[in-house]
Amino acid sequence: MAEFELHPQLAKDSLHLADWPLSQVRVINDANFPWFLLVPRIPNIIEVIDLSENDQQQLWRESAFLNHWLKAEYRPDKLNLAAIGNKVPQLHLHHIARYTDDPAWPDPVWGRLPPQPLAEQEVVRLQQVFRELTL
């Protein structure tokens, strides 16, 4: 059986925060937007429907949990959830806190601004927060 491997582009663009029952929780290394990923740790999965029914339900539980956290932590005007995967086929769900005054509003965040790396202090804070979160 194949082992889970993170797509190289996801590894390049994001930082690991935690492992939940199904997914890796990652943050996109871009301070322009609060932008998080869930990546199911199952090899060769491209679409949500490729997951078992139990794993689909677990992914939605994890997604809802992450979105509740984002809403409480960042108080956004809108939560964006996307599983596009046109450039990175490995299944991953984007969770992005959006504001009506953010620099990309109302358009998608992809490619709108040059990425600004997260401050090391923010990465450490997020890693600590996610170590303490329980699903």
pLDDT tens sequence for the chain (135 residues): 689 999 999 999 999 999 999 999 999 999 999 999 999 999 999 999 999 999 999 999 999 999 999 999 999 999 999 999 899 999 999 999 999 999 999 999 998 899 999 999 999 999 999 999 988
Q: What are 58's two structure tokens?
A: 């677990």
Q: What residue type is assigned to position 35 of the chain? A: W
- Report the distance separating Cα 43 and Cα 51, nearest Å: 10
- pLDDT tens for 5-40 read 999 999 999 999 999 999 999 999 999 999 999 999
Q: Is 10 within 8 Å of 31 (Cβ atoms)? A: no
- Report the distance separating Cα 117 and Cα 40, nearest Å: 24
Q: What residue type is assigned to position 81 of the chain? A: L
- Report the distance separating Cα 46 and Cα 50, nearest Å: 7
Q: How many CB atoms lie within 10 A of CB 124?
A: 11
Q: For the domain 8-132, what is the CATH superfamily, name and number?
A: HIT-like (3.30.428.10)
- Structural domain boundaries in the chain: 8-132
